[in-house]
């Protein structure tokens, strides 16, 4: 961008040189200075934004402190079905409520991801696998130390690493974190949505060994997968709020 501006300024100065040399030189110097100031301002703005994102990412880990289990087995439990129907009724009417509920439930109940899902959904109508993968049954965050841990169904620790912020994922605006430990395998990167118990009543995230692949949602090793969790300390209010939010996000005009 700077090179283009300078080329334009050079042509302007050259054209007017024979008529008003002194004025043209002054204009060139002034314009060049403006370009330098603009570039400096842009650099400052970018750095400020990067610092803000880093601070927000650090705060997110603090806000997530606690443990989480998979979301959908909880809120799609049969005992909450009437809550779903009631929320759907408010948005699409009683006659369409059950169909809407079935559709919403199917969207997040996929059982395959990656290349298998790409092949299965090549003609459309893809659904998401929203479970935790790599044998993880529970995730635990400790924001004070930037630690993320994972446990299997028997409570055995699968992984435990400290993480640092590395960027923002472009598709959904997820905060990207990288493990500080070598050989972290499929837990090297975590891409975490800015969701918390207090804001969206659930969390959404992806993790794996390939950051570039994690940024793609309909191709590659992590296609059609978006892990979703809810606090292991959830209560009825959190479940109701989470269901209401999901219905509004997907059924509102």
Instruction: Give the pLDDT of residue 27.
Output: 39
Instruction: Give the pLDDT of residue 10.
Output: 31
Instruction: Give the pLDDT of residue 146.
Output: 97
Could you tell me which residues come within 8 angstroms of residue 12 by beta carbon, excluding any fewer than 6 positions away? 24, 27, 28
Asked if 161 contacts 140 with a C-beta cutoff of 8 angstroms, the reply is no
**Average pLDDT for consecutive 10-residue bins of the chain (253 residues)?**
32 32 38 58 77 94 98 98 98 97 96 97 94 98 97 98 96 96 97 96 98 96 98 98 97 86
Residue 208: both structure tokens together = 């794996």
Asked if 221 contacts 213 with a C-beta cutoff of 8 angstroms, the reply is yes
CA pair distance 81, 92, nearest whole angstrom: 16
Instruction: Give the pLDDT of residue 33.
Output: 56
Number of other residues whose CB lies within 10 A of the CB of residue 47: 10
């Amino acid at each position: 961008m700077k090179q283009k501006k300078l080329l334009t300024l050079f042509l302007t100065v050259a054209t007017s040189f024979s008529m008003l040399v002194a004025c043209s030189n002054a204009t060139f110097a002034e314009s060049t200075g403006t370009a330098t100031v603009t570039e400096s301002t842009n650099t400052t703005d970018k750095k400020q934004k990067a610092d803000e994102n880093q601070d927000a990412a650090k705060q997110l880990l603090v806000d997530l402190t606690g443990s989480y289990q998979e979301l959908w087995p909880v809120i799609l439990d049969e005992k909450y079905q009437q809550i779903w129907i009631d929320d759907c009724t408010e948005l699409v009417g009683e006659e369409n409520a059950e169909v809407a509920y079935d559709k919403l439930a199917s969207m997040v109940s996929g059982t395959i991801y990656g290349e298998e899902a790409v092949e299965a959904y090549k003609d459309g109508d893809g659904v998401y696998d929203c479970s935790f993968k790599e044998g993880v049954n529970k995730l635990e965050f400790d924001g004070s130390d930037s630690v993320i841990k994972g446990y299997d169904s028997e409570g055995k620790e699968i992984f435990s690493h400290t993480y640092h912020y590395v960027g923002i994922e472009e598709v959904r605006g997820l905060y990207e974190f990288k493990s500080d430990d070598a050989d972290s395998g499929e837990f090297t990167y975590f891409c975490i949505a800015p969701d918390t118990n207090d804001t969206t009543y659930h969390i959404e995230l992806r993790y794996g060994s390939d950051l570039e692949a994690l940024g793609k949602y309909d191709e590659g090793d992590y296609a059609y997968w978006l892990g979703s969790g809810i606090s292991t300390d959830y209560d009825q209010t959190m479940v109701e709020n989470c269901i209401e939010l999901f219905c509004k996000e997907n059924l509102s005009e």
